[in-house]
Amino acid sequence: MPITFLEDKKIFKLDTSSSTTILKIWDEGYLLCLYYGAKIPDTSFDGYEFRDWASSFSPRNEVIGENAFSPDTAPLEYSGFGTGDFRKTAAAIRNADGNDATDFRYVSHTVSPGVKKPAGMPGLWTVNESDAETLDILLRDRTTGAEVTLHYTVFADHPAVVRFVTLKNASDKPLDIEKLYSASVQLTTMDFDFVHLYGRWGAERNMARSPIEHGHTSISSTRGSSSHYHNPFAALVRHGATEDTGEVYGFNLVYSGSFDITADADYYETVRLNMGINPDGFLWHLEPGETFDTPEAVLVFSEEGLGGMSRAFHRLYLEHLIRGKYRTEKRPLLINSWEAAFFDFDTDKLVSFAERAREIGIDMLVMDDGWFGRRNNDTCSLGDWWVNEDKLPGGLGVLIDRVNALGLKFGIWYEPEMISPDSDLFRAHPDWCLHVPNRPNSIARHQYVIDMSRADVRENIWAQIDAVLSKYKIDYVKWDFNRNLSEAGSALLSAPHGEEIFHRFVLGTYEIMGRLTETYPDLLLENCSGGGGRFDPGMLYFSPQIWASDNTDALERIAIQFGTSLCYPASAMGAHVSMSRRTGFETKGNVAMWGTFGYELDPNRLTEKDLEIVKGQVTEYHKYYELIHYGDLYRVIDPWDDAYRAAWEFVSPDKREALYTEVVLRYRHCPTHFVRFKGLDPEKTYTLEGTDQKYSGALLMKAGLNLSRYPAGCGASFKLHFVAD
């Protein structure tokens, strides 16, 4: 069993497939984390004890005894603010008497099979209860009666622990939560680099790595969404660990709103990492008896470097996060109208795309922005989700029938969380957007944000979407979100609940997305946020794929996809071939094939030569679908380390097949270009497809092959497909 409790030693041992966590109930009920890291088989921890080294300035617990214990230096598993722990604490609660001192101590625990999930939020799931076990540890603040339950779901076959926290106001007075992190992680050293993903529109998820210094290292969002700028992912990487070797702790928050991940290196050179909802812009009021759940935090551990961490996240998400029909069923190959036509389309033009698409072998036409209200540009009509018959005479039915008659499925674009000031909906309900009284609303892309915290507003938006989806045969929805939240107030929320709006907004979005996926289980949902501005596990729970970036230039996409792959699987990365000019169609196809693959262009503008290449790509898409969607990813040449090339490789789980892709970023003449392949079976013999050459897995991985005879011009690319006997 993954969870063991050693009653005599008051120790919890949490064993995943390759990590161990040791928690100890210390004197006076303090819960300590003695260890988190590589798996330790021991079942007895005789002599493995906690020793405190409090400095004389640190307040002590008098009951335990002067010098014996200080909250400031102990590895507290979940510490409260204001009672002697001066590091970044996991929780801060404003009590009814106005003070915010909190101190949680052990009360009881339970162990149960399967997973637990925070109320109203996405979470990892299991089909078989034996896949995971959950430990719930109840802690109580003895003064106020506030109770926290720490939930730990431990996966037996993955190196993963999933955590969240429930806070219950078990007192007889109201309280306010100022901060409540999903997980607080104690490590016994600060010998780490902090790795995270930063970016901006069109350049999302670049990897950054810097040593942990004394003090705080932090990434966050206060935008109401996870954002383009920081992803809710971080890793603590042992100094010297590489892509393939060394210890890596990966952290990812299953949340799509404002978040914070902070590593705090203290004066005794240990690290505490807190992750959860950003306390900035957050205050949650609880009446007696009420509870609050945090989002889930996913903790993954690898001894095989960043690559091992990535593969652990990918497999965990493929098996226990992504849901629905299209988790396992082959997804339709789509063509999207956005870069092909922007707002300038009508029924005939879309049908002409579909006609050509059919010839190419594409399965679905997606009509992007511009089909509703009076929307001929981005200045109006969000909220008016009725069809624009000037563009689509006879309505959606006529268009969809014509597309379906060609044998193609049909998809549509929505941006449900937004409202244009120039819309019928806003004119009828000016208080349905986020706003605060007597303060002008900020505008972005000519739009305001809908008040998703309001049930009546959600009902209206849902009814509009449902009216379309229930009437027409729609196989796919692209759900967009094109600005961040400001003036975040709701006409229906006032003190003491006013500051709950950021989180209530996210809960509202989750509710309506849940309704959508439950009502239409056959629908393929793709999330999007001005490209990849909300690429997080919360969204992945609802939509198996997320548009990774509005930047469809193949060379720039490589960096985005490298970064994204740190945490998210290939099957989640929306990637299309477009008309971007810097490379030929071969390379555009090779890069997009690392993701969901599809097209974002006017197929009637393809030259005869490009048309043939595109048809070949469609054949390859089918050929490699399983390998890419369900295989293991190995990053081989990282474009951030190598100015000349980028390369990646997919290996099937049974290691019988591998696909290596390389793209030349800059030309450099060199007759030696040895590449050592990764993840193969050293015992197997592989044939390089298209040749008679056979190589052992050992040779391919240790000696490698000299690839200098393959295309080397700037922007060129090639694939090597190895198949074992």
- DSSP assignment letter at 124: -
Binding flag, residue 531, ligand GLA (CB under 6 A): yes
Sign of the CA dihedral with 35 first, then 36, 42, and 44 last: positive
Q: Please give the residues from 538 up to 567 whose contact with ligand GLA meets the rule CB under 6 A.
A: 547, 550
Residue among 338 and 505 whose Cβ is closer to ligand GLA: 338
Whole-number minimum distance, CB 414 to ligand GLA, in Å?
A: 10
Residue 564: φ, ψ to 5°: -60, -35
Binding flag, residue 384, ligand GLA (CB under 6 A): no
Pairing assessment for the beta strands 573-574 and 545-547 based on DSSP bridges:
parallel
Q: Which residue's Cβ lies closest to ligand GLA?
A: 369
State the Cα angle at 35 between 30 and 38, rounded to 5°: 160
Q: How many residues bind ligand GLA (CB under 6 A)?
A: 12
Residue among 413 and 510 whose Cβ is closer to ligand GLA: 413
Residue among 480 and 602 whose Cβ is closer to ligand GLA: 480
Q: Is 336 exposed, middle or buried (0-12, 13-18, 19+ CB in 10 A)?
A: buried
Q: Please give the residues from 227 up to 286 whose contact with ligand GLA meets the rule CB under 6 A.
A: none
Binding flag, residue 526, ligand GLA (CB under 6 A): no
Binding flag, residue 369, ligand GLA (CB under 6 A): yes
Whole-number minimum distance, CB 476 to ligand GLA, in Å?
A: 13
Do 122 and 226 touch, CB atoms closer than 8 A?
Answer: no
Pairing assessment for the beta strands 291-293 and 271-277 based on DSSP bridges:
unpaired
State the Cα angle at 211 between 208 and 216, rounded to 5°: 95
Tokens of 476: 């796919």
Amino acid at 46: D
1: how many CB neighbours lie within 10 A of its CB? 11
Distance CA 663, CA 715 (A): 7
Q: Please give the residues from 637 up to 696 whose contact with ligand GLA meets the rule CB under 6 A.
A: none
Whole-number minimum distance, CB 674 to ligand GLA, in Å?
A: 40
Whole-number minimum distance, CB 339 to ligand GLA, in Å?
A: 8
Piece of 226-234, 454-462, 528-536, 703-711 that binds ligand GLA (CB under 6 A): 528-536
- Which residue in 72, 85, 131, 550 is the catalytic one? 550
Whole-number minimum distance, CB 420 to ligand GLA, in Å?
A: 12
Is 191 noted as a catalytic residue in this protein? no
Cross-strand pairs, 291: 168
Closest CA to 259 of 182, 150, 151, 175: 182
Distance CA 488, CA 486 (A): 5
Piece of 130-138, 525-533, 665-673, 696-704 that binds ligand GLA (CB under 6 A): 525-533
Binding flag, residue 335, ligand GLA (CB under 6 A): no
Binding flag, residue 417, ligand GLA (CB under 6 A): no
Residue among 79 and 336 whose Cβ is closer to ligand GLA: 336
Binding flag, residue 595, ligand GLA (CB under 6 A): no
Whole-number minimum distance, CB 149 to ligand GLA, in Å?
A: 39
First to last CA, the chain: 38
Whole-number minimum distance, CB 223 to ligand GLA, in Å?
A: 16
Q: Which of 166, 423, 482, 590 binds ligand GLA (CB under 6 A)?
A: 482
Is 378 noted as a catalytic residue in this protein? no
Do 559 and 200 touch, CB atoms closer than 8 A?
Answer: no
Binding flag, residue 225, ligand GLA (CB under 6 A): no
Closest CA to 535 of 566, 559, 507: 566
Do 245 and 305 touch, CB atoms closer than 8 A?
Answer: yes
Q: Which of 131, 204, 368, 657 binds ligand GLA (CB under 6 A)?
A: 368
Do 250 and 313 touch, CB atoms closer than 8 A?
Answer: yes
Residue among 28 and 553 whose Cβ is closer to ligand GLA: 553
Closest CA to 92 of 144, 159, 162: 144
Q: Which of 530, 595, 598, 639 binds ligand GLA (CB under 6 A)?
A: 530
Binding flag, residue 422, ligand GLA (CB under 6 A): no
| Residue found by looking up tokens 């001066």 in the block | 86
Helix 396-405 to helix 455-471 angle, to the nearest 10 degrees?
50
Whole-number minimum distance, CB 413 to ligand GLA, in Å?
A: 6
Residue among 338 and 585 whose Cβ is closer to ligand GLA: 338
Q: Which of 528, 591, 633, 646 binds ligand GLA (CB under 6 A)?
A: 528
Whole-number minimum distance, CB 505 to ligand GLA, in Å?
A: 19
Do 527 and 479 touch, CB atoms closer than 8 A?
Answer: yes
- Which residue in 103, 363, 480, 610 is the catalytic one? 480
| Residue found by looking up tokens 């040749």 in the block | 691
Distance CA 203, CA 193 (A): 23
Cis peptide before 174 (omega within 30 of 0): no
**Can you give the binding site for ligand GLA, defined by CB under 6 A?**
338, 368-369, 378, 413, 480, 482, 528, 530-531, 547, 550
What positions carry a catalytic annotation?
A: 480, 550
